[in-house]
């Protein structure tokens, strides 16, 4: 079964072809970072228009890489939500139009399910069940994963997501867009002993997250200092350490509560080097394993949508001809596959 995957939830256009027997055949990604950089964040209308411009050229490129003709494609998967409504509508309209023209089934995929399943594209994929930490610019979730669509939310952010807190703090520190990677790079030069910021919500039970207070603590500290490269790096390091340690504490709680030993980490923040080091340490300490997608699949991409779509379509799921997207879509509302 050969599935075309389309990702257009925010500011990256992703297209991929996944084949059930041979795995991922080809994928291509266009990032809108340069487009949005002068505004310091994603402009939804510009994002939507850029998806329109890029998605079909990327589709032709992926088909060329895989030596696949459109007539060979057996199904189409696109990101139905969550995300920016205009951006989602681009992928939904094109995905459904192609499926109608090719007379193949089509499925709308949950963006975070795509991230959750991205490690399945690796040579040594995790087996069910496992705990998943999904951390991105828009989401911070801990999920008990028993199978495809069998998800129980263990904890989520009650305010800023981890990636959002990274980006906002970086912007207030005067770092360029995109802020999260810039802050993480700067933090490598900082002194980890100079400042210690709070580990929010770790003094109470549960696995929920809150990063807005941590962001405020970092900014208040920075504003009280002389503006220098050394001070900026030390604040960045303290902020990163607080986020990483908070995530590690919550992961430990989630693994303990479920009795599971396998941890999957996905989403853009999953590419953070310090977070990976800390969670590897945690897994070794607990006698467990931690799984990540390759770095290029931590951020949004079409490969994860193609894979998730294949799992859904192979289970006999599909949709009618109506075009409907879900800017907000709870992960634990999905059907099992």
Count CB atoms within 10 A of the CB of residue 122.
13
Tokens coding 49:
């228009």
DSSP state of 157: B
Q: What is 127-292's CATH topology?
A: Nucleotidyltransferase; domain 5 (3.30.420)
Is 135 marked as binding a ligand? yes
Q: What is the pLDDT of residue 138?
A: 85
Q: What is the pLDDT of residue 319?
A: 86
pLDDT tens string 208-244: 999 999 999 999 999 999 999 999 999 999 999 999 9
Section 285-294 average pLDDT: 97
Cα–Cα dist 280/267, whole Å: 17
Examine the pLDDT at 45 and tell me if it is beyond 90: yes
Q: What is the pLDDT of residue 137?
A: 84
Average pLDDT, the chain: 96
Cα–Cα dist 302/127, whole Å: 22
Q: 222-230, long-range: CB within 8 Å, 24+ apart, which pairs?
A: 222/172, 222/173
Indicate the burial class of 206 (C-beta count within 10 angstroms; 0-12, 13-18, 19 or more): middle
186 touches 236 (CB < 8 A): yes
* Token pair 């991105």 in the structure block, residue: 136
Examine the pLDDT at 321 and tell me if it is beyond 90: no
Helix (H, G, I), strand (E, B) or coil at 304: helix
Is 41 marked as binding a ligand? no
Is 111 marked as binding a ligand? yes
For CATH 3.30.420.40, the residue range(s) in the chain are 2-117+297-333, 127-292
Which of the four pLDDT bands, split at 50, 70 and 90, describes residue 289? very high
Q: What is the pLDDT of residue 172?
A: 92
Section 133-150 average pLDDT: 95
Q: What is the pLDDT of residue 196?
A: 96
Is 137 marked as binding a ligand? yes
Is 333 marked as binding a ligand? no
Is 138 marked as binding a ligand? yes
Smallest CA-to-CA distance from 142 within 150, 151, 131 is with 131
Is 139 marked as binding a ligand? no
Which of the four pLDDT bands, split at 50, 70 and 90, describes residue 200? very high
Domain spanning 2-117+297-333, CATH class: alpha beta
pLDDT tens string 69-115: 999 999 999 999 999 999 999 999 999 999 999 999 999 999 999 99
pLDDT tens string 305-319: 999 999 999 999 998
Q: What is the DSSP string of 264-292?
A: EEESGGGG-HHHHHHHHHHHHHHT-EEE-
Q: What is the pLDDT of residue 64?
A: 98
Section 12-37 average pLDDT: 97
Is 167 marked as binding a ligand? yes
Is 23 marked as binding a ligand? no
Cα 206-118-208 angle, rounded to 5 deg:
10
E-state strands within 20-139:
23-31, 75-81, 106-110, 130-135
């Amino acid at each position: 079964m050969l599935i075309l995957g389309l990702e257009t939830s925010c500011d990256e256009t992703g297209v991929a072809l996944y084949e059930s027997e041979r795995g991922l055949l080809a994928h291509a990604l266009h990032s809108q970072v340069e487009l949005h950089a002068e505004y310091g964040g994603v402009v939804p209308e510009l994002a939507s228009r850029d998806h329109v411009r890029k998605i079909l050229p990327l589709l032709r490129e992926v088909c060329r890489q895989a030596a696949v003709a459109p007539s060979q494609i057996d199904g189409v998967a696109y990101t139905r939500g969550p995300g920016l409504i205009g951006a989602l509508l681009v992928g939904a309209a094109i995905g459904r139009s192609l499926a109608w023209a090719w007379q193949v089934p089509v499925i709308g995929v949950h963006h975070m399910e795509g991230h959750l399943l991205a490690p399945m594209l690796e040579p040594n994929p995790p087996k069910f069940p496992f705990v998943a930490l999904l951390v991105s610019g828009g989401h911070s979730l801990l999920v008990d994963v028993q199978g495809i669509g069998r998800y129980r939310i263990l904890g989520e952010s009650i305010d800023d997501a981890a990636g959002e807190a990274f980006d906002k703090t970086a912007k207030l520190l005067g770092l360029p867009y995109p802020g999260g990677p810039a802050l993480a790079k700067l933090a490598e030069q900082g002194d980890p002993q100079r400042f210690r910021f709070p580990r929010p919500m770790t003094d109470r039970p549960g696995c929920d997250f809150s990063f807005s207070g941590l962001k405020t603590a970092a900014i208040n500290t920075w504003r009280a200092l002389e503006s220098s490269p050394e001070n900026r790096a030390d604040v960045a390091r303290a902020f990163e350490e607080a986020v990483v340690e908070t995530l590690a504490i919550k992961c430990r709680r989630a693994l303990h509560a479920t009795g599971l030993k396998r941890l999957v980490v996905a989403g853009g923040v999953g590419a953070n080097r310090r977070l990976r080091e800390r969670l590897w340490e945690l897994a070794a300490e607990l006698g467990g394993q931690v799984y990540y997608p390759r770095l290029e699949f931590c951020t949004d991409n079409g490969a994860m949508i193609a894979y998730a779509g294949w799992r859904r379509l192979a289970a006999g799921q599909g949709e009618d001809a109506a075009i409907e997207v879900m800017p907000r879509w709870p992960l634990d509302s999905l059907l099992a596959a």
